[in-house]
A = this chain, B = another copy of it.
Amino acid sequence: MSDSEVAEADDEFEVPQLYKYHAFVCLTQRPPGHPRGSCGALGVQPLWDRLTKTIESQRLTDIGVTAAGCFGFCSAGPMMVVYPDGIWYRPTKPEDIDEIVESHFKQGKRVDRLVMVLKR
């Protein structure tokens, strides 16, 4: 991500969107055998690496990617959520990341086979 200019806001105004899509990926790492498990223990690291490298190498500057802490659904990982859509994905392989990038981020088409429907 690049440097920024920050403008203080006045009152009523339109706020332009910083990103077309903004993905948050849980990188929580708990030790092996921890009863809650974690996205880290479920193998998120290579997926995160793939995602950040792909976004950078393809210069997808309108896609934000940010590491996140625990979402509270620890058995369901690896987890990522894509906003503004509010779509939760469970990628498990690098190819899943590639498909999310190609389909969702570049074509605006949700990858149904990777979607998780979560309930509070």
Contact = CB atoms under 8 A, between A and B. Distances in A.
A115 B15 contact: yes
B86 A15 contact: yes
A6 B68 contact: no
Given A68-B67, A112-B9, A88 B18 contact: yes
Interface string A53-79: 000000001101011111111011000
- Counting every copy of the chain, the complex holds 2
Given A12-B112, A15-B115, A112-B11, A6 B76 contact: yes
16 contacts: A4-B75, A5-B119, A6-B76, A6-B116, A6-B117, A6-B118, A7-B117, A12-B112, A13-B117, A15-B117, A16-B117, A22-B86, A27-B69, A66-B69, A84-B85, A84-B86
